[in-house]
Chain A
Amino acid sequence: MNTPHDSVVWLGVPAFPEAARSALADTRLRANLRKATGTIREKRLAATGELDDWEELRAAGAAIKRRVLRHLDRYLEQLEESVLRAGGTVHWAADAAEANRIVTGLVTATGEREVVKVKSMATQEIGLNEALAAAGISACETDLAELIVQLAGDRPSHILVPAIHRGRAEIRELFRRRMGDRGRPAPHGLSDDPADLAEAARLHLRDKFLRAKVAVSGANFACADTGTIGVVESEGNGRMCLTLPDTLITVMGIEKVLPSFADLEVFLQLLPRSSTGERMNPYTSMWTGPVAGDGPRSFHLVLLDNGRTATLSDPVGRQALACIRCSACLNVCPVYERTGGHAYGSVYPGPIGAVLTPQLMGVGQASSLPFASTLCGACYDACPVKIDIPEVLVHLRAAEVDAGRGVLPKPEALAMKAAAGLLGSPRRLAAAQRAVAMTGRVLARRGSIGRLPGPLARWSATRDTPAPPPESFRAWWRRTHTGTSAAEADR
């Protein structure tokens, strides 16, 4: 049984700095990430650079999303009406537990024990597969990378490329050992050639598609005016799930609603170019309720809150809800490129995860994530809907620090207070500079310091530090421009 938000983060995962340390030592992970993020960065730059109006598109995407967030209540009610009019059913879920209860109930009512799934962040966020399993229902992930993650009993490490941390030799082993447990086994003599691996997955999944009576999907978009739901994917496996079964259940975060069908013009350009670096998405499936004689006969839309309205109430933080899950920010992030996604301990890794996860969870949770960034700003530049991720990171850092005030102050808080005192007065600053210069002279060997004391040892473990100069700039200025010595001027 899920408590409200317990699936967004993975229990038992240590704080980011510790989790990152072990990830950084994983040679294969580092090599995979360097290659994959490097390739996709180049592709994205080519695909966005060729459009003269890319910046206008970004601005349009950002404006539409801002409007959605401003009038979310209205658009959601309109979406509900439209979906009902088209013959679908709409369910409202306040949290993960409620969403899981609704989906489990719907599947159970069909009498089926097996569902096929389209790759979906929302269902991962609520831990749906685990909830279904607890009710005796097996869920089969049909996205190739999600299938790899599922067979391995692993966790996804990228929003778009969940198995980015796996090499093809590992995948071959997984397919050989595990595919048989969940259906059609891998062909005899399977090689680690990508085409062979894809063929093995195709055969394994084809069995599932032909048998499946119930499918569960997420949604990239939902148009309030028409009730049209859209799923964007690259393999066609999603299309199979969305068209072959009798019952389709879609779980969607409430922020995914768009005002109108015409808005897709903007997002179907922004998303593929930002995510995979493609001009056009390979499989874009859209449906407006069930249609007699074609595709699913019943359609259920589960609208998921799970911390979103709480996030919406924060004027700075709410922009994270504009995210279209393209993962461009992951691919350009210097931190993500080194640590990969597991270190974030969340379904949502990378820069967007660092701002989304703590907000969906509430302040005090996932508290190391807003600090897991150099604030280099590459994510903001890459974001197709212009989410100012550094702004939100710094905002959440402040919330985290403020939440710790009043209780016993941490050494860091004491140091920051002391620093603010020293740095806030020219006289105290000058005195501190003389102390630094004196200490520096004691510690320095040939102009640089090898080892620093206390927490600064984390710095000096890999870096020399220049010896502080005997005279600060302000002391030099006083001496050369005002004719007073520092000591005199400070009195």
Chain B
Amino acid sequence: MRIALFITCFNDTMFPGTGKAVVRLLERLGHTVDFPQAQVCCGQMHFNTGYRREAVPLARRFAEVFGHCEAVVTPSGSCAAMVRDHHRVLDPGLSSPPVYELSELLVDVLGITDVGAWFPHRVTYHPTCHSMRMLRVGDRPLRLLRAVRGIDVVELPAAEACCGFGGTFALKNPDTSNAILADKVHHVRATGAEVLCAGDNSCLMHIGGTLSRMRTGIATRHLAEILAATEEDAHEHPS
């Protein structure tokens, strides 16, 4: 299958490793990945902060760049939800291609849960709010993780509770954001996991920022990076 990658501006700039992992994973599964280079931001930050006027050209741009694609994959639950649910609020005339968050593409479109990955670590999974409540990805990411060889997936207490990121909320309400984050960090530590996994690097950067500041030694990994990891290339792409 020919799959277009919507990397998202945030991953593009801060977490290129996640994008490379998506490419490696899908190519390993025998698919062709396109990266339309005219792609930009989906406008989520502007839309959610009230700057709709600024988000409109971004939504139109997305439709122009990806409109013709058979399937679009993105390693971000919240950007997928933005494109799928909110672009039509910005411009009701926009026609969107089918956009899938990574776990949806793998499980629903490609019909696969065992992607042949190897990741010999204790991992806990945080189901980010927009993946869970807007996209309704359900247990797809966990099914994919549980099929990874060598992995020890441990349940995160109060997993469905928000991590307190909320985009610009973290800057507008820093104290409240931190109070929510403190409980999430507490639960992550309680699992004894070495790695915290999620389908959105923005939430991971928020939780991971405090995990790092507190010197917990717990790493954060995007789902794509765990699913892309294999025994063979562990050397080449150490986790």
> Interface on A for B, CB 8 Å cutoff?
16-17, 20-21, 24, 30, 334-335, 338-339, 370-378, 380-381, 394, 397-402, 413, 416-417, 419-420, 423-426, 429, 432-433, 436, 448, 455-456, 458-466, 468-469, 471-474, 476-478, 481-482, 489
Contacts and interface: CB of A to CB of B under 8 A. Distances in A.
Interface in B1-38: 7, 9, 11-17, 19-20, 35, 37-38
Interface in B196-210: 205-206, 208-210
Interface string B73-106: 0000000000000000000000000000000000
B176 A375 contact: no
A399 B13 CA distance: 30
B173 A372 contact: yes
Contacts of B212: 448, 463-464
B237 to A, nearest CB: 13
A423 B52 CA distance: 14
A438 to B, nearest CB: 12
A24 B177 CA distance: 11
B192 interface: no
A347 B213 CA distance: 38
Given A338-B176, A371-B172, A473-B11, A420 B129 contact: no
Interface of B: 7, 9, 11-17, 19-20, 35, 37-41, 43, 45-55, 57-58, 61, 129-130, 132-134, 160-162, 164-181, 205-206, 208-210, 212-213
A46 to B, nearest CB: 16
Given A17-B174, A338-B176, A463-B205, 10 more contacts: A20-B173, A334-B180, A374-B180, A376-B133, A376-B162, A380-B133, A419-B45, A429-B41, A464-B210, A464-B213
Given A374-B166, A429-B12, A473-B7, A398 B52 contact: yes
Given A397-B50, A401-B50, A481-B35, A462 B178 contact: yes
A375 B166 contact: yes
Contacts, number: 188
26 contacts: A24-B179, A334-B162, A372-B173, A373-B169, A374-B129, A375-B167, A377-B134, A394-B50, A397-B50, A401-B50, A402-B53, A420-B57, A426-B37, A429-B9, A448-B212, A459-B170, A460-B209, A464-B208, A468-B14, A472-B13, A472-B16, A473-B11, A473-B16, A473-B19, A476-B16, A489-B37
Contacts of B165: 374
A376 B129 contact: yes
The 9 closest A-B pairs by CB, nearest first: A463-B209, A374-B166, A397-B50, A423-B41, A401-B50, A377-B133, A376-B162, A420-B54, A473-B16
A402 B50 CA distance: 8
A65 B116 CA distance: 50
Contacts of A20: 173, 175-176
Contacts of B169: 371, 373-375
Given A339-B176, A474-B37, A464 B16 contact: no
A376 B15 CA distance: 23
B175 A334 contact: no
A49 B167 CA distance: 31
A458 B171 contact: yes
Given A420-B58, A473-B16, A16 B38 contact: no
B40 A426 contact: yes
B17 A424 contact: no
A376 B48 contact: no
Contacts of A402: 50, 52-53
B49 A397 contact: yes
Contacts of A373: 166, 169
Contacts of A459: 170-171, 174, 209
B7 A463 contact: no
A433 B130 CA distance: 26
Interface majority SS (helix, strand, loop, mixed), chain A? helix
A433 B12 contact: yes
Given A380-B133, A420-B57, A461-B174, A338 B180 contact: yes
Given A377-B134, A424-B41, A468-B14, A416 B46 contact: yes
A462 B133 contact: no
Contact of B14 (A424, A462, A469, A478): A469
Contact of B46 (A335, A420, A464, A478): A420
Identify which of B16, B19, B43, B206 gathers the most chain A CB atoms within 10 Å of its CB. Answer: B16
Contacts of A472: 12-13, 16
A338 B13 CA distance: 33
A465 B202 CA distance: 11
Contact of B58 (A338, A398, A424): A424
B213 A416 contact: no
A456 B171 contact: yes
Contacts of B53: 402
Contacts of B164: 334, 374
A213 to B, nearest CB: 46
A371 B173 contact: yes
A415 to B, nearest CB: 10
Contacts of A436: 13
A460 B130 CA distance: 24
Contacts of B180: 334-335, 338, 374
Nearest to B45: A419
Nearest to A417: B54
A462 B210 contact: yes
Contacts of A461: 174
Identify which of A424, A463, A464, A468 gathers the most chain B CB atoms within 10 Å of its CB. Answer: A463
B213 A463 contact: yes
A375 B39 CA distance: 26
Contact of B161 (A30, A334, A423, A481): A334
A398 to B, nearest CB: 5
A474 B178 contact: no
Contacts of B15: 466, 469
A23 to B, nearest CB: 9
Contacts of A378: 129, 133, 160, 162
Given A420-B46, A433-B13, A425 B170 contact: no
A189 to B, nearest CB: 39
Contacts of A376: 129, 133, 162, 166
Contact of A335 (B17, B134, B171, B176): B176
Contacts of A398: 50-52
